[in-house]
Amino acid sequence: MTGAEIEILYRDDDLVAVHKPAGLLVHRNTHAGREPFLLQTLRDLLGTRLYPVHRLDRPTSGLMIMALSPGAAAVLARQFAAQEVRKAYLAVVRGFTDEEGAIEWPLKSESGAEAPARTEFTRLGLVEIPHPVGPHPTARYSLVRVEPRTGRTHQIRRHFAHIRHPLVGDVLRGDGRQNRFFREHFGIRRLLLASVELRFRHPANGEEMRLQCPPDEEMRTLFAKLGWA
């Protein structure tokens, strides 16, 4: 992994926004050995210390922000903790979803405690492929814009699996037959989930910020093949 593979989308004196590639760890993982991770790669690229204020799972790609000072980090972290930051993602899921909806289903944390969780979504596209992936003669998929209102671990994946529309490429809660179909027919070997928008208050002046990031080339190419261009 090189800095050239990480696109810097925005930078000022207080924060930097980047596009994180799918499959890249954000922090060093004791089980990953010498594998590169986003935080160190960015430090090397920018020549400055960085302060994470939120995270993206390893298989998720897209928009992520980091603070450039402890003060900015504290302000942004408080916004994330208070669920004041508005986040939006694009995801490809199995089946035809409703045009829009909200999933309210409590999720357990690693400690076993349940916490309220809410995920809102809007369907942006549908496709039906004449291929019998499962028990039906065709395979159906939806492109959805997802806005989680809470920030639970793996919330989007867990919520869509709960309503029986698992994300394509989810190896933990997804549909193995659908994942295999996408590998064999489209060359897709990843989770189809991308962070595309963050709305928050700037840590220095409180100005409303709206940062956006299109999905990466691999996802855009897939969308074109599925008629979602």
15-20 vs 61-67, strand pairing mode: antiparallel
pLDDT for residue 34? 65
What is the model's pTM? 0.93
Segment 187-207 shows an average pLDDT of 97
Residues assigned a catalytic role: 57
Phi, psi of 89 (to 5 degrees): -135, 160
| Beta carbons of 211 and 126 less than 8 angstroms apart | no
Q: Which phi-psi region, left, alpha or beta, contains residue 48 (left: φ > 0; alpha: ψ -120 to 50)? A: beta
Which neighbouring-strand residues pair with 229? none
Which tokens is 178 given?
Answer: 């659908």
- How many CB atoms lie under 10 A from the CB of residue 221? 15
pLDDT for residue 136? 86
Q: Where are the alpha helices (DSSP H) in 109-165?
A: 155-162
Secondary structure (3-state) at 52: strand
| Beta carbons of 193 and 59 less than 8 angstroms apart | yes
107-108 vs 139-148, strand pairing mode: unpaired
Q: What is the pLDDT of residues 146-186, one digit of tens each?
A: 999 999 999 999 999 999 999 999 999 999 999 999 999 99
CA distances from 166 to 5, 94, 169 (A): 29, 6, 9
Q: 1-10, 43-52, 90-99, 178-187 — which is least confidently predicted?
A: 1-10
CATH homologous superfamily of 3-225 equals Pseudouridine synthase (3.30.2350.10)
Q: What is the pLDDT of residues 208-220, one digit of tens each?
A: 999 999 999 999 9
| Beta carbons of 53 and 200 less than 8 angstroms apart | no
**Ranges of each domain in the chain:** 3-225
